[in-house]
Amino acid sequence: MLNKCHYILTHSRYNHLTLNPFFHHQNQNPTFHTKITTLHQYIYQYSNFPSPYFLLNPITK
């Protein structure tokens, strides 16, 4: 998962920690909810407000 996505969103949903991949909008096949430009809408719709969330950006060498 870390090698295939550009960002990873971690947040609490139904008392579970979830990991969701997000991609740059230039990526060829991202769905609407996996584009990084729709991150705020995704958090508003799917995370438990006001739960904390983290956005991880894997470092590539």
> 27: which residues sit within 8 A by CB, 6+ positions away?
6, 35
Q: What percent of the chain has pLDDT over 70?
A: 85
Question: Nearest-CA neighbor of 24 among 40, 35, 32, 39?
Answer: 35
Please determine, for residue 10, whether its predicted confidence score (pLDDT) is greater than 70.
yes
State the pTM of this model: 0.72
13 pLDDT tier (thresholds 50, 70, 90): confident
Residue type, 29: N
How much is the pLDDT for 50? 76
User: CB of 35 within 8 A of CB of 42?
Assistant: no
Q: What percent of the chain has pLDDT over 90?
A: 0
User: ∠18-35-43 over CA atoms, to 5°?
Assistant: 45
Please determine, for residue 61, whether its predicted confidence score (pLDDT) is greater than 70.
no
Query: Where does 7-56 sit in CATH, by number?
Result: 3.50.4.20
